[in-house]
């Protein structure tokens, strides 16, 4: 028997960073994101020999343990261990014996929510295997708690909900970890055109998002006016993006992205750097009307809105920086799991 699951990665189109506490607790956050055809995948094979095997295929890491109630959290596949430990504790389970294999279509630090999406995929596989009574909100919130509370990994709340629900969503964040996911019904032709015009580009760099997020958090607590203004403008951006997508006013999207990028850079000092600025300027010089760094910033993926027939010129202009353009489609489904 094999239990499989997959959860989609996401593009954060607007409002990025406003889902991070303490801003979301104090002022409320709003984000618009959309899932894409890149995935985190998990497979569980039950065992009967009293062993636990954790296997990350993309990271080339494999660890074996005796079947025990709590696995050691020590920097080696801690997401896998944290999920196992929490489920044993919350559901009063006896130690399990299994092998779990995982794979993510984007590297860590990519800005596509890969870590949180992996947590959702692993949780989905365990929920399928153990028949856990977890609805979409329950599973996304549990994924958030494991990553942010149990493992103390810095970050926001959008990624877990995007991976679980899938599709294009306008998300609202409130104090006490309250989240409301509003699915948007976008016409297929608008999504197809958006996928064609949004060039997704991997800079071949990564970043440690926790450093950027920690500075962002300190700026909020210190009442930094420049940073707070930026976050409030990004909340406005999420509403602007929602209206443009629902109305099919796609030519506004580049301008909305450009509006957000100008303010996002004021949230924390590490969000951009000279190399990323050079890439952004080159894309605009060759026809892009706007774009941003995906996720917290500092590296990973960037994406640019290329109206009309400017896509090819922008891709050609980006080649000199040594990165790679990634093909994708938007997806309408979130977490899926099944048993073979």
Residue 281 has pLDDT above 70, yes or no: yes
Q: For the residues 294-300, what does the mean pLDDT come to? A: 79
Minimum mean pLDDT among 10-14, 17-21, 178-182: which range?
A: 17-21
Instruction: Please name the residue that has the structure tokens 């990519």.
Output: 110
Considering only residues 20 and 208, tell me which one the structure prediction assigns the higher pLDDT: 20
d(CA 104, CA 58): 7
> Residue 163 in contact with residue 7, Cβ under 8 Å?
yes
pLDDT of residue 87 exceeding 80: yes
Average pLDDT over residues 276-281: 94
More confident site: 31 or 299: 31
Residue among 170, 109, 103, 179 nearest 142 (CA): 179
Question: Higher pLDDT residue, 107 or 103?
Answer: 103
Topology of the domain covering 188-326: Alpha-Beta Plaits (3.30.70)
* 184 close to 119: Cβ distance less than 8 angstroms: no
For the chain, percent of residues with pLDDT exceeding 90: 83
Asked whether residue 208 carries a pLDDT value surpassing 70, the answer given is no
Could you tell me the CA-to-CA distances from 130 to 1, 2, 123 in Å, in that order? 13, 13, 10
Q: What is the mean pLDDT of the chain?
A: 94
Considering only residues 204 and 298, tell me which one the structure prediction assigns the higher pLDDT. 204
The per-residue pLDDT for range 258-276, each reduced to its tens digit, is: 999 999 988 877 788 899 9
Q: Tell me the pLDDT tens digit for each residue of 222-241.
A: 888 988 999 999 999 999 99
Q: Give the phi and the psi of residue 251 in degrees, each rounded to 5.
A: -65, -15
Question: Using an 8 Å Cβ cutoff, are 136 and 183 in contact?
Answer: no
Query: pLDDT category, 221, cuts 50, 70, 90?
Result: confident
Quick one: pLDDT band at residue 53, thresholds 50, 70, 90?
A: very high
Is the pLDDT score of 72 beyond 70?
Answer: yes
Among 106, 110, 116, 68, smallest CA distance to 89 is for 68
SS3 242: helix
pLDDT of residue 207: 62
pTM for the model = 0.95
| Bigger pLDDT: 61 vs 21 | 61
Q: Is the pLDDT of residue 210 over 80?
A: no
With CA atoms as reference, report the closest residue to 298 among 277, 315, 283.
277
Domain 3-186: CATH class, spelled out = alpha beta
Active site residues: 159
Question: In this predicted structure, which of 90-99, 103-112, 142-151, 253-262 has the lowest mean pLDDT?
Answer: 103-112
Q: Could you tell me the residue ranges of all domains in the chain?
A: 3-186, 188-326
Question: Is the CB of residue 86 less than 8 Å from the CB of residue 142?
Answer: yes
Do 188-326 and 3-186 fall under one CATH topology? no
CA geometry: angle 337, 186, 139, nearest 5 deg: 30
Instruction: Tell me the residue ranges of DSSP E strands in 67-196.
Output: 98-104, 168-173, 179-183
Q: How far apart are the first and last CA of the chain?
A: 6
Residue 82, pLDDT score: 98
- The helix (H) or strand (E) run that includes residue 56 is strand 51-56
- Give the chain's radius of gyration (CA, Å): 20
Give the mean pLDDT of 161-176: 96
Pair 9, 163: CB distance under 8 Å: yes
Burial class (CB in 10 A: 0-12, 13-18, 19+), 48: exposed
């Amino acid at each position: 028997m094999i239990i499989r699951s997959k959860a989609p990665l996401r593009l954060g189109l607007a409002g990025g960073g406003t889902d991070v506490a303490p801003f979301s607790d104090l002022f409320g956050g709003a984000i618009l994101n959309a899932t894409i055809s890149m995935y985190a995948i998990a497979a569980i094979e039950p065992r009967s020999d009293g062993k636990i095997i954790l296997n990350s295929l993309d990271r080339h890491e494999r660890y074996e343990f005796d079947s025990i109630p709590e696995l050691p959290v020590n920097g080696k596949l801690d997401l896998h261990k944290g999920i196992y430990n929490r489920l044993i504790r919350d559901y009063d389970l006896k130690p399990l014996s299994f092998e779990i294999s995982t794979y993510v279509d984007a590297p860590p630090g990519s800005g596509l929510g890969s870590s949180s999406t992996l947590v959702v995929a692993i949780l989905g596989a365990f929920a399928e295997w153990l028949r856990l009574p977890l609805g979409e909100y329950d599973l996304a919130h549990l994924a958030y708690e494991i990553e942010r509370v149990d493992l103390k990994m810095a970050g926001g709340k959008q990624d877990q909900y995007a991976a679980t629900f899938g599709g294009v969503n306008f998300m609202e964040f409130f104090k006490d970890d309250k989240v409301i996911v509003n699915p948007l019904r976008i016409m297929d032709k608008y999504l197809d055109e958006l996928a064609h015009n949004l060039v997704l580009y991997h800079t071949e760099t990564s970043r440690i998002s926790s450093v950027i997020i920690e500075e962002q958090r300190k700026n909020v607590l210190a009442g930094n006016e420049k940073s707070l203004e930026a976050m409030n403008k990004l909340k406005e951006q999420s509403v602007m993006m929602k209206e443009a997508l629902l109305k099919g006013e796609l030519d506004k999207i580049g301008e909305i992205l450009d509006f957000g990028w100008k303010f996002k850079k004021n949230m924390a000092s590490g969000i951009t750097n000279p190399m990323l600025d050079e890439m952004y300027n080159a894309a605009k010089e060759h026809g892009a009307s706007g774009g941003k760094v995906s996720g917290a910033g500092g590296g990973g993926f960037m994406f640019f809105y290329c109206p009309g027939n400017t896509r090819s010129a922008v891709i050609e202009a980006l080649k000199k920086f040594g990165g790679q353009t990634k093909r994708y489609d938007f997806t309408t489904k979130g977490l899926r799991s099944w048993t073979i």
